[in-house]
Chains A and B, each alone.
Chain A
Amino acid sequence: MNRLLPLLASSAALLLGACTNDAPIPASHAASLSDTGGSRKGDFGPPQGEPIKAVLTSPPNVPPATNRNYPAKVVVELEVTEVDMEIAEGVTYTFWTFGGTVPGSFIRVRQGDTVEFRLKNHPSSKMPHNIDLHGVTGPGGGAASSFTAPGHQTQFTFKALNQGLYVYHCATAPVGMHVANGMYGLILVEPPEGLPPVDHEFYVMQGDFYTVGKYREKGHQAFDMQKAIDENASYVLFNGSETALTGPRALKAKVNQSVRMFIGNGGPNLVSSFHVIGEIFDKVQYEGGTRFQENVQTTLIPAGGAVTVEFHTEVPGNYVLVDHSIFRAFNKGALAILEVSGEERQEIYSGKQLDEMYIGDKLASLAPVAEAAKASTTGTLTKAQQMQAGAVLFKGTCSTCHQDTGQGLPNVFPPLAKSDYLLSDKNRAIAVVLNGLSGPVTVNGAQYNSVMPPMSQLNDDEVANILTYALNSWGNSDGTVTADEVAKVRATTKRAEGAAH
């Protein structure tokens, strides 16, 4: 078999020219202390021990850590198949795959390993295929050496000199089409010391897809060359399908766990603004490299690039993975879900504490209030103006408890409509608005024991208008309250603690 290798390599004789990197290697710089040394320090000598057959996993799963402290010979066998699969519900597409899935099988080796790579092209394939691994040092990343006709297999060997997370993809003409059909995946070259253990490792890859039919148009969809050239994606997806990581197939973790995600972007065209809604990446090894950034919201993943993100789960719930070029998320499918289960942590995130009326456009809706205030200063304020201003203010200030109908809530908030408590003592009513009320009260024969906060944000005009509105609504008919009356009560009662007015 060894002897066949040079024979295969001889096809490399056909590789003409190209990719000639003639730039002189700069004289070695004074390496900073934390340099890994790159490929120059990535050769740990010949492979040791028995050859190891690499464990390949389908997304979103990641193979176990190599757990080795020596360089080995690792045999990778990857099968290319062309298969019809769902790209969205009711929509099928013929994907070209490495290992039957999009993205292709995840490959995990250790820096310094000698990787014997066998590419098998299934007999049912229509196309020849090959593989360019970005983790390979050598011309074409293995492309020419792995060019494989349908129903055949090829082999080449490389030493994984650089640690990092690398994209692999098919590079057969037309390259864009092979990539657009799903021919990409990730290979992780672990640093010699391995990666720190985490509770979960996930494998997710973004890709853009180009179909003749529109987004979600039912039936079998063909590749649209013109849309691909125009970079006008029909779908932007995580793991090759709109439903790959949603519903029952969502990623799952528990609270108080550490999560590591190997995220790649196969392209062929689009750069990803990768973001997880509701999480902050504690650590991002951007561009799949060695350095990391901490406390990151959104990280860019170039087409043909990858990133490792790590975070810790604190609060249960659904976390949505998106491309934050956000139309892609909501109109082209770039959504995936991480379900985190476990105990609520309200001290970190309370959930909804308030849901109430909010008057959005204050200037417009508060126009009657302004008008009433103006009329008050010129002495021309009418009862109708007071009612209009009071209605607006009541809605924003009082209706949450006393309700728009003035009926209050039985046993909780007392009514204002036909309220003996309100109607029997105007000055007491003013004082309650200004200073609040706590402790038991009897209204229309019923006992209430709630707390009403002081409405200290209201000025005298506003209190007068609210009370005029209350005294003349829901069947009440009991005169008006003036700003002067409010001012008198305000002057004679003790100001509420902390009132800012």
Chain B
Amino acid sequence: MKKLMRHRRYLAALALMLVSLGHAESPDTPAAPAIPGGSFESVLPPAPSVKNVRIQPFRLDRTPVTNEQFATFLRTHPQWRRDRVAKVFADEQYLSHWQAPLDPGQENLRRPVVHVSWFAATAYCEAQGARLPRWHEWEYVAAASDRQRDARNDPAWRQQILSWYSRSGRGPLPAVGGTTANAFGIQDLHGVIWEWVEDAGGMLVSSDNREQSSADVMRFCGEGALTMEQKENYATLMRIAMLSSMKARYTSATMGFRCASDVRTGS
């Protein structure tokens, strides 16, 4: 009986969440610009025989979620406070850079929230009626420079992205929105933080990426591990390596997130 009650309460909470949807946005700089769909050649092809990924139209947050925004979320979802979070959902470093369980510290307010687990990021986006972007969506938007939607073959742009990786992660993070918006109107995809994606647990790349051979069908249903393409696309390869090193409860000083949502057809 008690179990049933708990269950009912859970469903009620879910219903509440669904009601409180929606992003406030101004027409000039929408908080979550609409991204047109398209066909895209991913570093992680969906299957060995399939080169292109079809991206459906979606919305993506213009900037990563800030500490301030995350603190606001915690006030209504206290089960995600660092002093209350279940260990199964976050490691010991979760929000460890904050001054107190609900206080990120003044200097952190405008900085992207980091030290968040995949579970916490997912919960945040769900609370906004949104979700984490999928890897292919993230990769599709992150391929854009300020001029081109797919700038991946531009050596100068590639080198510019790589420069972030040529700095150690010991300095403070910048505030969000500091980089130039790309051709999709999205900022901070490079040069600020790593970002969680919805299917972070589905990268299906070998922990030893040097293994290039095809599937071990005894381990995997289907076709086995994905082979990484575009071997010179270092910035993207590093993203995948980072995501595949992180378990869903792990947090890191440079791993944050932003949310995405589906675009309803006809709107």
- Partner-B contacts on A (CB < 8 A): 11-20, 82-84, 93-94, 123-128, 130, 132, 139-140, 143-145, 147-152, 171-175, 177, 212, 220-226, 229
Contacts and interface: CB of A to CB of B under 8 A. Distances in A.
Given A11-B207, A16-B225, A147-B207, A222 B166 contact: yes
11 contacts: A13-B219, A126-B165, A126-B194, A140-B210, A144-B208, A149-B245, A152-B250, A173-B209, A174-B241, A177-B234, A226-B159
Given A14-B205, A17-B215, A144-B207, 14 more contacts: A14-B207, A17-B211, A83-B168, A93-B166, A123-B93, A126-B169, A143-B207, A144-B208, A148-B245, A151-B250, A173-B205, A177-B165, A224-B159, A225-B232
B169 A82 contact: yes
B31 interface: no
B160 to A, nearest CB: 9
Nearest to A224: B159
B208 A124 contact: no
A173 B228 CA distance: 10
Contact of A225 (B219, B228, B234, B242): B234
A18 B216 CA distance: 9
Given A126-B165, A128-B245, A173 B238 contact: yes
Contacts of B216: 15-17
B166 A16 contact: no
A434 B264 CA distance: 112
Contacts of A128: 241-242, 244-246
B213 A17 contact: yes
B220 A16 contact: yes
Interface stretch (B17-25, B99-107, B251-259): B251-259
A94 B208 contact: no
B254 to A, nearest CB: 5
B252 A151 contact: yes
Nearest to B253: A123
A171 B208 contact: yes
B252 A226 contact: no
B109 interface: no
Contacts of B208: 15, 18, 130, 132, 139-140, 143-144, 147, 171
Interface string B87-130: 00001010000000000000000000000000000000000000
A82 B165 CA distance: 10
Interface SS of chain B: loop
B170 A130 contact: no
Nearest to A85: B168
Contacts of B158: 225
A13 B216 CA distance: 9
Given A171-B208, A223-B166, A126 B225 contact: no
Interface size class of B (residues with CB under 8 A): 35 or more
A82 B168 contact: yes
Nearest to A84: B168
Contact of A124 (B162, B168, B219, B238): B168
A250 B94 CA distance: 45
Interface string B63-82: 00000000000000000000
B224 interface: yes
Nearest to A172: B241
Nearest to B193: A126
B237 interface: yes
A120 to B, nearest CB: 13
B179 to A, nearest CB: 17
B168 A94 contact: yes
Nearest to A139: B208
B53 interface: no
A17 B234 contact: no
Contacts of A17: 211, 213-216, 224-225
A149 B207 contact: no
A18 B206 CA distance: 10
B241 A14 contact: no
A172 B211 CA distance: 11
Interface in B174-198: 194
Contacts of B247: 149
B253 A15 contact: no
B39 interface: no
Given A147-B208, A151-B252, A127 B242 contact: yes
Contacts of B244: 128, 147
A149 B165 contact: no
B56 interface: no
A175 B211 contact: no
Interface string B140-166: 000000000000000100110011011
Interface hub of A125, A152, A173 (most chain B Cβ within 10 A): A173
Contact of A172 (B155, B209, B225): B209
A18 B213 contact: yes
B232 A222 contact: no
Contacts of B252: 123, 149-151
B171 to A, nearest CB: 9
A171 B166 CA distance: 18
B212 A18 contact: yes
A11 B191 CA distance: 30
Contacts of B168: 82-84, 94, 124, 126
Contacts of B170: 124
Q: Shortest 10 CB-CB distances between A and B: which pairs?
A: A18-B211, A128-B245, A222-B166, A16-B225, A144-B207, A17-B213, A18-B213, A149-B245, A144-B208, A143-B208
A151 B207 contact: no
B167 interface: yes
A14 B169 contact: no
B204 interface: yes
B240 interface: yes
A94 to B, nearest CB: 5
Contacts of B163: 212, 222
A16 B162 contact: no
A14 B204 contact: yes
Nearest to B234: A174
A151 B170 CA distance: 13
B159 A175 contact: no
A87 B209 CA distance: 29
B245 A173 contact: no
Given A13-B219, A128-B241, A229-B232, A94 B207 contact: no
A173 B168 CA distance: 18
Contacts of A147: 207-208, 244-245
B223 to A, nearest CB: 10
A12 B207 contact: yes
A132 B241 CA distance: 16
A151 B250 CA distance: 9
B92 to A, nearest CB: 9
A173 B93 contact: no
Nearest to B158: A225
